[in-house]
Amino acid sequence: MLLPETTLLLVIDIQGNLARGMYERDALYENLQKIIRGIQVLEIPIIVTEQIPEKLGPTIPEISSLFDNFNPIPKSSFSCCGDEKIMNAISTVNRRQILIAGIESHVCLYQTAVDLTQAGYEVHIIADCISSRTTENRAIGIERMKEAGAKLTSTEMALFELLKVAEGDNFREIVRIVK
């Protein structure tokens, strides 16, 4: 089970024209906004990455606007684990359960999930917060991440799992976000 004190959200490469070309883009954006806002309510750390932003462009405004101090970590390796700054950021927050959202399922998310799992992290793929340019590549990426030991979840499943109880201000705020 996900626990607020051991969980981190990793949002991978929601950038420029690449993000605009994703399969079921509108649903992807909506769910990404929900998970980010919900994780913020729960005060869980969020790390955002950008794949070669000088070529692919910055994180789309639909995502970057959700942050007060937006400071994505640029990378050139497909796997987030191939970047020292990202791994230092993960290490600094000292969380062993990592929720993964972003693009593309069969490239950066897949390689990151495999590497994090092999490094001993408990990886949870937020299935409705990931995509690829084609439905086939999205499905293959999900299947390969599962084979590597990652667990599947969804936006609502993760948020309610982190909440644990149907009471309090955080519960009311999360319900408002997901409905």
* Location of structure tokens 């495999």: 114
Structural domain contains residue 2: no
Structural domain contains residue 56: yes
Confirm if 97 and 2 have CB atoms less than 8 A apart: yes
Structural domain contains residue 16: yes
Structural domain contains residue 1: no
CATH no. for residue 24?
3.40.50.850
65-117 tens-digit pLDDT = 999 999 999 999 999 999 999 999 999 999 999 999 999 999 999 999 999 99
139-167 tens-digit pLDDT = 999 999 999 999 999 999 999 999 999 99
Structural domain contains residue 121: yes
For 9, the 3-state DSSP assignment is strand
Structural domain contains residue 120: yes
What is the tally of structural domains in the chain?
1
The pLDDT confidence band at residue 17, using thresholds 50, 70 and 90, is confident
For 151, the 3-state DSSP assignment is strand
Which amino acid, 78? F
| Other Cβ atoms within 10 Å of 69 Cβ, number | 4
